[in-house]
Amino acid sequence: MKKVLIVNAVPVNNGDAALVMAIYSAFEKKGLDVAIATHNYKIVSGYYPDKEIVRDLLDYYIIKKLPIIRYILIPFFLIILKQYREADIVLGAPGGYINSYYGIFDKLYVLFMCKLLGKKTAIYSQSVGPLNPRDANRFSFFLNYLDLVYVRDCLSYDTAKALSVGRNNIRLTEDAAFLLEPNLINRNKMKKVAVSVRDWAFDSRDKDKYYFLIAELVKCCVLNGYSVEFLSTCQGVPGYLDDSKVAESIVDAHLKEVEMVTIDKERRTLSNLRTKLNEYDFVIGTRLHMCILSILNGIPAFNISYESKGTECYAYLGMSEYSIDYNAEHVMATEQINDFINNLDKLEKHLKERIVMSHSDSVKYFEQFCAELGVI
């Protein structure tokens, strides 16, 4: 039986969990021996006791604390650590970490060394970019040591193809979360909206302008007769990013006098969050996977895009007009949210058809991926 190790996973929050658990389950259905190498190992292994969870090599204290020597130690760790030594395929987890915001070298260096040690190496359903010139050169080099790179949007595909000179290992797929089974049920309308928020410190974004934008969208929902609850894929985990604190800042600054606004701070499992989402008529999501998980339930979602992955995903879904920029002008944004609200029934019908197609496409691309890697 082929052994697959998914590396550089961070399924602490439910957005990343949707990505990683979707592909984990897809491999399991094929009867493969699959494990997840994760950061924040103690937290993740506690949350998912029914999954094969191991510590990611880059999560080891000695690797994290020795910036130069780590590159000498990593090959030895790959031989010593059973999960890496015995893996036939080492797979970079789905997500959006191949960009210069987060730093790409260490993640790709591990895959590079795995390839030199005779493993098959790949990346599945990633965004690629933005990359500064140094990281662009690095990515171009490391592409020579990756058997396959599946990217999740057209912009990432174009970026990766331009850097894969002489190689034919770039493919286009969907966001890995679409591998999750759709959960399309008939729901009673509750006149209730979920809003997810997040801080974004890159690209010279204006936090105050974003906070004001969210407040105006919330007020618009209330004026339309909806109660609003702040809810995120990323909350309730001690010592980790917590979007409920961002929600508190927005409420304190702009919404103290507005009734029908609450903040949910509870940490939920992925399945419990998907159940929770059925309480809402629609979602306003800054976190892309808050939107995708809602859409997988057939619930319309209005996206606030802080990276290109949001606009790219919504273009693919045929909903470009309902993805706005993180620092969009609030007057334009309130016009768009009103249009969104007025078209909820139409959108719900569109999504129930579109999401079945998206899931089917995702399964098809995953089958292709497995065939190209030789695991089926």
- Nearest 10 degrees: Cα torsion 150, 59, 205, 307: 10
pLDDT of res. 247: 98
pLDDT of res. 166: 84
Cα separation of 41 and 310, whole Å?
28
- Residues 198-257: tens digit of each pLDDT: 999 888 899 999 999 999 999 999 999 999 999 999 999 988 999 999 999 999 999 999
Token digits of residue 249: 């800042």
CA 348 to chain centre: 23
Summarize the confidence of residues 250-272 as an average pLDDT.
95
Q: Is 313 exposed, middle or buried (0-12, 13-18, 19+ CB in 10 A)?
A: buried
Q: Is residue 35 within 8 Å of residue 309, measured between CB atoms?
A: no
What is the second-level CATH architecture of the domain 192-356?
3-Layer(aba) Sandwich (3.40)
Average pLDDT, the chain: 94
Q: What is the CATH superfamily name and number for domain 3-173?
A: Glycogen Phosphorylase B; (3.40.50.2000)
- Kindly report the pTM of this predicted structure: 0.95
Q: Where in the chain is the domain with CATH 3.40.50.2000?
A: 3-173, 192-356
Please count the helices (runs of H) and the strands (runs of E) in the chain: 15, 14
DSSP 8-state code for residue 250: H
Residue 187 has pLDDT above 80, yes or no: no
- Residues 23-54: tens digit of each pLDDT: 999 999 999 999 999 999 999 999 999 999 99
Cα separation of 116 and 249, whole Å?
48
- Residues 83-105: tens digit of each pLDDT: 999 999 999 999 988 999 888 99
pLDDT of res. 68: 86
- Residues 124-172: tens digit of each pLDDT: 999 999 999 999 999 999 999 999 999 999 999 999 999 998 889 999 9
C-alpha count within 13 angstroms, C-beta hemisphere, residue 345:
2
Percent of the chain having pLDDT more than 70?
100
Cα separation of 150 and 132, whole Å?
21
pLDDT of res. 360: 96
Token digits of residue 50: 């029914």
- Residues 282-307: tens digit of each pLDDT: 999 999 999 999 999 999 999 999 98
